[in-house]
Chains A and B, each alone.
Chain A
Amino acid sequence: MSLRNQTVTTAEGAMTRPAVAAQPYPWPYDGRIPLARTALLVVAAQDEVAAFCPGSAEVLGLLESVGQELAAMGAAIVTTRHLAPPALARPVGLPSAGSAAPSVFRAAVDLSVDAYGFDGFAGNALEQWLVGHRIDHLILGGLWLEGPVHSTMRSANDRGVECLLLRDAVASRVPEITGPSFSMIHMSGGIFGATAAVAELRKSMLGSATGRSEK
């Protein structure tokens, strides 16, 4: 939480970094990455989900490194743990609230929330926390691309949050449709936001720290 105290500043006073070479547009839309208004959102870092998503361990390791780098620059780190929707009688591949294992994300975080469903915003204070901390840019990665990652990105986007998905920091349950899972995000000029490789984000983070976010 001390991280938050350092980084809650006005947008005008915040440090920014150059836009990321993302698809289908340089991210973010407002010109530069406003670090104090940005969070890394790590989705479903859970053993129950990792069990059926090949490559989960590598993805989480990469996100732990990226998280530490972003935190050092003033961005927030948030994790969502996904539980089966209580209102749904069918099993959906998510653990129930009583039996879920703790998050396996090992880097320091500013907020961990439990989501009651695939949507990371379901049944918790994530939206209020982001609004309260003036965070309106999300960099997303995590497990089960077609499940909780997609639902959470769609929900964030409908809320006006500017989203970037890290293509090589997500693990798929259905690797055969990973291409379309990214393509869906790119439709109509970025209908849910943009996607980029971690290397492209890192290039931006090494870029000039001057300048302001431009609308």
Chain B
Amino acid sequence: MFGTVKSAPYPWPFDAQFAPAGTALMLIDWQVDFCGMGGYVDAMGYDLSLTRAGLEPTAAVLAAARRAGLHVIHTREGHHPDLWDCPPNKLWRSKRIGAGIGDAGPAGRILVRGEPGWQIVQEVAPMDGELIVDKPGKGAFYATGLDLALRTRGITHLIITGITTDVCVHTTMREANDRGYECLLLEDCTGATAYENYLAALEMVKMQGGVFGAVAPSSALLEVLNG
């Protein structure tokens, strides 16, 4: 059993302690196309540093979580090859900005399951036995088995990392919070394509006493996990 983490706006978790068996580290969408060398974002000439910034601290937290016996859950955003699970407005918007879902990209078909660009980057690659949740949307709970998997495993506390902070990470944290999961977001283990949105997303979690949970640097969690 671990005690509280030095987090804001309250010491996490709310219920004062967390057990490895009831806690999962979530790694959201650390995929090649979003943060990998040679992935889509990289090939378009965008600055990868904002989405890659959280990768190294996340790898350190992942190692510590595995040693401490926490559950580890990875998520991937992507669609079936025939795109049956891609809403038409999502497809339309992606094509409009020249990043058409299902179109050929530098690392295979963009956002399609099984393609090289859809894989999780080596730095935080899943190990055997770790749950991988494939999702068609931004939230990891919608149209997936995540909630059922958490409940059957008795997981009540979630420690969240991933990209991007304001989109998939926030949507997933909001869904988890509504379902009663006690969430901690690690501020240096996440990033967004716009820094101002990253900061605002952290602020949203902390508003009014922590409506979606708490925020902490990974060092505060490591201090607790490594005793």
Contacts and interface: CB of A to CB of B under 8 A. Distances in A.
Interface of A: 25, 28-30, 52, 85-93, 116-119, 122, 146-147, 150-151, 154-155, 157-160, 162, 173-174, 176-177, 179-181, 183-184, 187-193, 215
A184 B174 CA distance: 15
Nearest to A183: B197
16 contacts: A90-B182, A90-B209, A90-B210, A117-B178, A117-B179, A119-B178, A122-B178, A147-B207, A155-B139, A157-B137, A158-B143, A160-B89, A183-B200, A184-B197, A187-B166, A189-B94
A188 B168 CA distance: 13
A25 B96 contact: yes
- Most chain B Cβ neighbours within 10 Å, of A52, A88, A89: A88
A155 B142 contact: yes
Contacts of B178: 85, 88, 116-119, 122, 151
Given A93-B208, A154-B138, A187 B193 contact: yes
| Interface range for B | 35 or more
Contacts of A88: 177-178, 180
Contacts, number: 139
A66 B89 CA distance: 25
Contacts of A117: 177-179
A180 B139 contact: no
A160 B93 contact: no
Interface of B: 14-15, 87-90, 92-94, 96-97, 99, 136-139, 142-143, 164, 166-167, 170-171, 174-175, 177-180, 182, 193-194, 196-197, 199-201, 203-204, 207-212
A158 B139 contact: yes
A190 B94 CA distance: 9
A190 B89 CA distance: 10
A150 B171 CA distance: 9
A160 B90 contact: yes
Contacts of B139: 154-155, 158
Given A30-B89, A174-B207, A187 B138 contact: no
Contacts of B138: 154, 157-158, 191-192
B209 A89 contact: no
Contacts of A189: 93-94, 96-97, 99
B87 A190 contact: no
Given A184-B201, A188-B93, A191-B167, A93 B179 contact: no
Nearest to B142: A158
B224 to A, nearest CB: 19
A159 B177 CA distance: 19
Contacts of A93: 208-209, 211
Most buried by B among A52, A86, A162, A184: A184
A146 B207 contact: yes
A105 B88 CA distance: 33
Contacts of A157: 137-138
A29 B89 contact: yes
Which of A28, A52, A118, A158 counts the most chain B CB atoms within 10 A? Answer: A158
Contacts of B208: 52, 92-93, 173
Nearest to A93: B208
